[in-house]
Structure 1
Amino acid sequence: MTGSVAVMGTGIMGTGMARSLVRAGLDVTVWNRSADKARPLADDGAKVAADAAEAVTGADVVVTMLFDADAVAEVMQRALAATPEHAVWVQTSTVGLAGTQRLAELADRYGRGYLDAPVLGTKRPAEQGELIVLASGPRALEPQVAPVFEAIGSKTVWVGERIGDGHRLKLALNSWVLSITAATGQAIALARGLGVDPQLFLDTIAGGGTDSPYAQVKGRTMIAGEFPPAFSLAGAAKDAELIVDALREAGDDPSLMQAVHRLMSTAAAAGHADEDMAAVVYAFR
């Protein structure tokens, strides 16, 4: 049974997940490289640790939600030795297939349980405890992590016992999400460029076979020109590159995702990296 949880990384996703864990009655300690991003969680009932090793001391479960594999590895190389022997590391950051293997090997060197458990969802589902957890690894660890998964998610999909299968499914899902976002940006930009009200694009597909709730949400954001980050463009560009790598590993043609990656990288480089990924619409201008 899990009583104590450490959340490493309190960005957009980690903050929401930490609050969901606190609401579920778990003993939560948070840590972030930039301490000012972690301090507000004290008002929600979380303990705020001064360093990574302090955060994980005594934790039954350690949850990492950081930007990429390098960031996760750097933090956990410092923290793992301070974890109890029974601790389970739940790795929720999207780090790609090579990154997942690298981090699993790190956990193995310290003899700690490890689950590959990326999540599907953005800021609002994280805040409301409605993420979808894509878990892979030893099912024997499920009882220890179940309270954590139940707190942060509306559903847990156990993809397989093989470490990395959670990530394999996550990359397939993200390939769809990123493609829809980029295609919506193209349609909005094209309608506007041709002198047609882009809202008519969303109104026309609404409720039909070509409609998508995601297209509606991101499309409205694009039309409004306001991009508070639910998932940052920089993060989307990073994930697109990981998907390109996965497609190559699978022997599949990466051309579509390469185009998506180029568009998202272009918009990010134009000053929109920290905005929502819907800001990819700027790449079409």
Structure 2
Amino acid sequence: TACRDLLDCIAAKTYYVGQWGDGVRMKLVTNLVLGLNRAALAEGLVFAKAVGLSMESALEVLLNSPAYSKTMDAKGPKMVAGDFAPQAKLSQHIKDVELILSEAERGNKALPLSQLHLALLEQAEANGLGDLDNSAIINVIEGSLTPS
């Protein structure tokens, strides 16, 4: 189709995922997994620090382990350095998670990890972190901010 030809010119890879609107829902699936990857990485780094390991060393091992995800490349160094200059704002991800939970509710599915993730993000935003990078969720997990 004409649309497929155009998309193939501007995208490295294209996927047909279904009918009108399914592409948006697939983007939400991607954002769900990506957001939970960030939160899991943050929790792992905080756990490493809590048990006496350096976050730098933990990240180095994680980057070369079965736990690896590309999220670690982009967000791991930011979390370790405490550099939360925004690449993607935390407040924007709140909107995504709200949409994800809304779609799940329409499908009569509970997403408990996403519900907890939203609570952590909302706590971060309530404490003034909304304009920072979404990797700033580590501040909530570290306990400098506590989710309600």
Report matched runs for 1:114-263 at 5 Å: 142=3, 146=6, 150-151=9-10, 153-160=11-18, 162-263=19-120
CA RMSD of aligned residues (A): 2.0
- Determine the C-alpha separation between the residues in 2 that align with 1:195 and 1:169: 39
- Determine the C-alpha separation between the residues in 1 that align with 2:128 and 2:51: 25
Corresponding letter in the other structure for 1:281: I
Corresponding letter in the other structure for 2:120: L
SS at match of 1:271: coil
Runs of 4 or more consecutive aligned structure 1 residues displaced over 4 Å after TM superposition: none
| CA positional deviation for 1:206 | 2.5
Q: TM-score, normalised by structure 1?
A: 0.46
Residues 2-23 of structure 1, C-alpha deviation per residue, up to 9 Å, x if partnerless? xxxxxxxxxxxxxxxxxxxxxx
Q: TM-score, normalised by structure 2?
A: 0.84
| CA positional deviation for 1:201 | 1.7
% identical equivalent positions: 27
Q: Which structure would you say has the larger Rg? A: 1
| CA positional deviation for 1:224 | 0.5
Assess if the C-alpha contact under 8 Å between 2:63 and 2:72 holds in 1: no
Q: 1:196 to 1:208 in 2, by over 3 A?
A: closer
Corresponding letter in the other structure for 1:158: Y
Corresponding letter in the other structure for 2:84: F
- Determine the C-alpha separation between the residues in 2 that align with 1:243 and 1:232: 17
| CA positional deviation for 1:250 | 2.3
SS at match of 2:109: coil
- Determine the C-alpha separation between the residues in 1 that align with 2:41 and 2:67: 12
Corresponding letter in the other structure for 2:53: V
Answering whether residue 135 of structure 2 is matched by residue 275 of structure 1, we say no
Residues 244-282 of structure 1, C-alpha deviation per residue, up to 9 Å, x if partnerless? 112222232211100011111111221111111001111
Corresponding letter in the other structure for 2:6: A
Aligned residues: 142
- Any unmatched runs of 5+ in structure 1? 1-138
| CA positional deviation for 1:217 | 2.4
Assess if the C-alpha contact under 8 Å between 1:240 and 1:257 holds in 2: yes
SS at match of 1:223: helix
Match of 1:40 in 2: none
